[in-house]
Amino acid sequence: MPVRALRAVPAAWACALALLMLGPALGRGFVLTFDMVWVPDLAVRSDFLGLGPALPRAVPSDLVVALLDQVLPGMLLQKVVLLGALVAGGLGIARLVGRSVLAQLVAISVYVWSPYVVERLWLGHWPVLLCWAALPWLVREGVRHRDDGRIGAALPFLLLIGSLSANAGLMSAVTLLAVGLTARRGPAVRLVLLVAAANAPWVVAGLLHTGSATTAATGVFALRGEGSLPAPLAALSSGGIWNAAVVPGSRETVLAWVSLLVLLALAAAGVRSAWRRLGGRTAWALLALWGTGIGLAVWSWAAPGSLGWFAAHVPGGGLLRDGSRALALAAPLTAVMVAAGAERVAERARVAAGEVAVRVLVGVGAALFPLAMLPDAAWGISGELAPATYPDEYAQVRELLAQPPPGDLLVLPFTSYRAPEWNHGRRVLDPLPRYLQPNYVVSDELAVDGRILPGEDPRTPEVLDALAEPDAESRARELEALGIGMVARELDVPSTPEYDAPVAGRTLFHGTQLELVALAAPVDRETTSGSRAVVAVAWTAFASVALVGGWNVFHIIWRANTRKRRRR
C-alpha cells in the first residue's frame, strides 16, 4: 500500500467508527435522549447568560448553540457536533501514539469505542463528549506551549470547545495546565489567563448562584458497578456511570470482564514504550491526570459522605458529585498504553512467526477487540439514538410567541422529564421550553431510584406552593408574583394535581397536545446592575479567547504570504 494511502487509514477508521456508532442518529430529525435536547432554532435569552434565578448548568453551551444555529440549522448542527466529536477524539488520540499505523488504529478503537463514550452519549452529555474529544489535542498543544512558550493558533479554539459546561471546562483546564505549564513566568501567566477566560462564564454565573447549589444525595451520582464488575474495576474500564438506564447490556455480561483483563494486560505490556514515546514530563502529567480521574470516580463510590461534605463546604465542590464523569481524564493515557502494548505484542508475534502478516493480523484483531466487547454500541447504541420529529403544534405555539407577552414561561406538568410517543417513548428532559422563545421556569427536581432529589432553582418550591392553591384564580395570582406571564400545558403528559393544576388566564392556544395561557399581570423579574456588569465582563473574556485564536490564525497566514512574496 502506498505510504500516503497508509497514512490515511487511521482517519478513515475514526470516521468509520463514528458513523457506525451514530448510525440512525445522523438521519432526519433530532436525537433527544435524557439530557440531550436540541431544537430547530434555540432562541437567545438572558437566562442563557447566567442571569436567571436557577443554577446555570448549561452555561455557556446554551448561548453558544443559540448563536451557532443562526448559521446552521439546529438539526444539522447537532449532527455536526456529535459526528465531529467522535471523529476528532479519534484523530486526536492517534496523534499521541506516534507514527505507527497499527498503534493509531488500536488507540482510536480504545478511545472511541469505550463505555465512557457510549454511556455519556446515551445520557446526552454532549458538552462532556466535546471535552473528551478535545483532551488529546489539548495535550499536544500543551506540550507545544511548554516547549516554546507560544499559544498555538488552535489552542484557544480547542479550549473553548472543551469548556462548554462547568465540568467539561474544569477537565479541559486541568489537562492543559498539567501538561502545558512552564517555569517561565510570562508563558505560564498567559496560559492561566487564557484558561480563566475560557471558563469565565460558568465560573461567574456559578458564583452568583452559590446559594442555590445543592449537595443532596451525592451518593446517588456515585460510581457504580456494572453487572458483576465491581465499581473500581468498572472505572478501570472507563465505565461505572451512575444511571443504570444508560449502561449497555453487554457491560453486564462476561464481556466486561474479558475486556478489562485484556486491556489491562495490553496496558501493562505498553507502559515502557508509551513512556518513552510520550517523554518523561508529558507521561508524568498524563499519569497524574489518570490518577485524578480514577481517584475522583472511586472516591464517589468509596466515601460518598466525605464527597458530600466536600461539595457542601468547598465552592464548586458539587461539580465532583458525578464521579464517573472525571474518567475522561484517564482516557488519553489508557488509550496510549493499550496501543503501545498491542504494538509490542504484534511485533513479538511477527518475530516468533517470521511473517509480517502475523503482525498485521494481531494489530487488526486488537483494533477490532473493543468493538467485539461492546457490540451494542453500534448503530445508534442499538437504535436508542433514533431521531425524532417535533409535533406541528410546537411550531404553531412558537409562532404565536414571536412577540411574547411579558413574564417568564411556566411549563406544566411541573416535572423535569418526559417520555413522549413522538420520541419513541424515550425519556428526555422536557424539550418544550427550549423550543419556545421566552425565559422559562421548569422543575429541576430529579427522580433517581425512586427518590426525589431537590432542585436548585429557588422558584421550584414556590411554583409547587402556587399550584397547591385551592382555585385557578389564586394559582394565577401566586404565579404572577413569581414573574410568570405564560403557562404552557402539555396535554399528552400524565401527571397529578400536585404538578399540574388549572391556572386562570387568557387562552392563546388550545390543541390536542399543547395549551398556552397568558396571565394578566406578572411581576417584572429584575437583575441587579452589578450582576449584569460582572456577567458582561465574563462573556467578554470568553469572546476574547476566540479573538486570540483568530489573531493567531491571521498572523500565520500573513507570515506564510510574506514568505511566498520573498521567494518571488
pLDDT tens, residue by residue, 245-254: 999 999 999 9
Q: What pLDDT shows up at residue 450?
A: 65
| Whether 170 contacts 162, CB under 8 Å | no
Contacts with 235 (C-beta within 8 Å, 6 or more apart), sequence order? 223, 294, 297, 298, 301, 324, 327
Q: Which residue has the cell 446559594?
A: 211
What is the DSSP code (8-state) at residue 416? S
Q: For the chain, which residues make up each domain, given as ranges?
A: 3-383, 392-518
Average pLDDT value for residue range 460-471: 93
Q: How far is CA 222 from CA 119, 225, 308, 321, in A?
A: 15, 10, 11, 7
The band of 214, judged by pLDDT with boundaries at 50, 70 and 90, is low
Residue ranges of alpha helices (H) inside 218-328 are 231-236, 254-278, 280-302, 304-313
For residue 412, is pLDDT > 90?
A: yes
Do the beta carbons of residue 388 and residue 423 sit within 8 Å? Answer: yes
Q: Is 162's pLDDT higher than 70?
A: yes
Q: What is the pLDDT of residues 23-67, one digit of tens each?
A: 999 999 999 999 999 999 999 999 999 988 877 789 999 999 999
Instruction: Count other C-beta atoms under 10 Å from residue 3's C-beta.
Output: 7
The mean pLDDT value of the chain amounts to: 93
Q: Answer whether residue 456 shows pLDDT above 80.
A: no
- The residues near 378 (Cβ < 8 Å, ≥ 6 apart) are 20, 21, 23, 371
Write the pLDDT tens digit of every residue in 89-110: 999 999 999 999 999 999 999 9
Confidence class of residue 318 from pLDDT cuts 50, 70 and 90?
confident
pLDDT at 308: 82
Say if CB 82 and CB 22 are below 8 A apart.
yes
Amino acid at 335: A
Query: Among 133, 44, 154, 96, which residue's Cα sits nearest to residue 436?
Result: 44
Lowest mean pLDDT: which of 98-112, 308-322, 337-351? 308-322
Q: Are 221 and 242 in contact (CB under 8 A)?
A: yes
Contacts of 537 (CB under 8 A, 6+ apart): 200, 204
Mean pLDDT of the 310-321 span: 80
pLDDT band at residue 218 using 50, 70 and 90 as cut-offs:
low
Q: How confident is the model at residue 503 (pLDDT cuts 50, 70, 90)?
A: very high
Q: How confident is the model at residue 458 (pLDDT cuts 50, 70, 90)?
A: confident
Residue 73 CB neighbour total at 10 angstroms: 11
pLDDT interval class at 1 (50, 70, 90): low
Per-residue pLDDT, 496: 81
Q: Tell me the pLDDT band of 419, cut-offs 50, 70 and 90.
A: very high
Residue 446 near residue 453, CB atoms below 8 Å: yes
Grid cell digits, residue 310: 466536600
The pLDDT of residue 211 is above 80: no
Residue 144: Cβ within 10 Å count: 17
- Give bridge partners of residue 516 from the DSSP assignment: 488, 509
Residues 456, 212 contacting (CB under 8 angstroms): yes
**In the chain, what percentage of residues exceed pLDDT 90?**
79
Confidence of residue 518 (pLDDT cuts 50, 70, 90): very high
Spatial separation of the C-alpha atoms in residues 251 and 115, rounded to whole Å: 8
Which whole number is the average pLDDT over 429-433? 96
The pLDDT assigned to 484 comes to 96
**Residues listed for the chain:** 568
User: What does the pLDDT average to over 163-191?
Assistant: 96
Better pLDDT: 115 or 207: 115
pLDDT on residue 502: 93
pLDDT tens-digit series, residues 537-561: 999 999 999 999 999 888 888 887 8
Per-residue pLDDT, averaged over 68-85, amounts to 97
